[in-house]
Chains A and B, each alone.
Chain A
Amino acid sequence: GQNIDQPTEMTATEGAIVQINCTYQTSGFNGLFWYQQHAGEAPTFLSYNVLDGLEEKGRFSSFLSRSKGYSYLLLKELQMKDSASYLCAEKDSNYQLIWGAGTKLIIKP
C-alpha cells in the first residue's frame, strides 16, 4: 500500500526557519498537499504541488520532487501561532488522499 512518512515532532525557535519533510511512494501520483492543524481544530489548506519545484506563498513555501517521492514545507520567520501539526497528503491514482500522521511543530520563544 501507499505510505506517507514525515517526522513525528520538531522544535524550532521563534523567528527562525524550519523545514518539514515528507516522503511518499511514487506510483499513481496526482499531487501533494500540505495542511495545518491546530490542536482540536480543523485542518486548513496550505499548499498543493503537482509539478517539480518550489511554490512560495508568503512565509510558507512547498517543494516537490516527483522522481524522488519527496516534498518539504518551509516555514520562515516563525511565529508562536505556527505551533501546530502539519499534515502531508498525497493524492493517488484514484484521486483519494493518503495522509501522513502529521508533524507536530513546537515553537519556542
Chain B
Amino acid sequence: DGGITQSPKYLFRKEGQNVTLSCEQNLNHDAMYWYRQDPGQGLRLIYYSQIVNDFQKGDIAEGYSVSREKKESFPLTVTSAQKNPTAFYLCASSLGQGGAEKLFFGSGTQLSVL
C-alpha cells in the first residue's frame, strides 16, 4: 500500500545537538512539505519542495534545514540554532500544488528537548 512514513515517532534532543527527522513516501508525489504543530496554533510551514533537488523556505525556516536528493525522501534537520524545537512535526506530500491538491500526512514525530 502506498503511503508516507515518518520516523522516529518520538525523538529527544540534547542541548547543542542537531537531529534529523526522516520522511519517505511511495505515492510518486512531486511535492513534499514539513509542518510544525504546536498546541493552540495552526500548522506552520517550515520547508517545502516541489521537485527533486529544489526546495523553498516556508514561514518558519530559521533553525531548520532540508534536502531533496530523491523524489521519495525529504529529511528535516533540526539544528542547534532552533532554540525552541519542542513540537509535533508533520511531513506531507501531494501530487502537485494546484488548488484541489490534497495533502497526505505522515504519522508525525514528537520532538522534545532533554
Binding site for B on A (CB under 8 A): 4, 8, 30-31, 33, 35, 40-45, 48, 50, 87, 89, 91, 95-102
Contact = CB atoms under 8 A, between A and B. Distances in A.
A98 B42 CA distance: 8
Contact of A44 (B40, B99, B105, B110): B105
Interface string B77-94: 000000000001010000
A95 B97 contact: yes
Interface in B57-102: 58, 88, 90, 97-100, 102
A101 to B, nearest CB: 5
B32 to A, nearest CB: 14
Given A42-B90, A50-B100, A102-B42, 4 more contacts: A43-B90, A97-B45, A97-B103, A99-B43
Nearest to A31: B99
A99 B99 CA distance: 15
Contacts of B98: 95
Interface of B is mostly: loop
Interface residues of B, number: 21
Contacts of A96: 45, 58
Contact of A91 (B43, B44, B99, B108): B99
Given A4-B42, A99-B43, A42 B105 contact: yes
B107 interface: yes
Given A87-B42, A87-B43, A98-B42, A41 B108 contact: yes
A16 B44 CA distance: 33
Contacts of A30: 99
B109 to A, nearest CB: 11
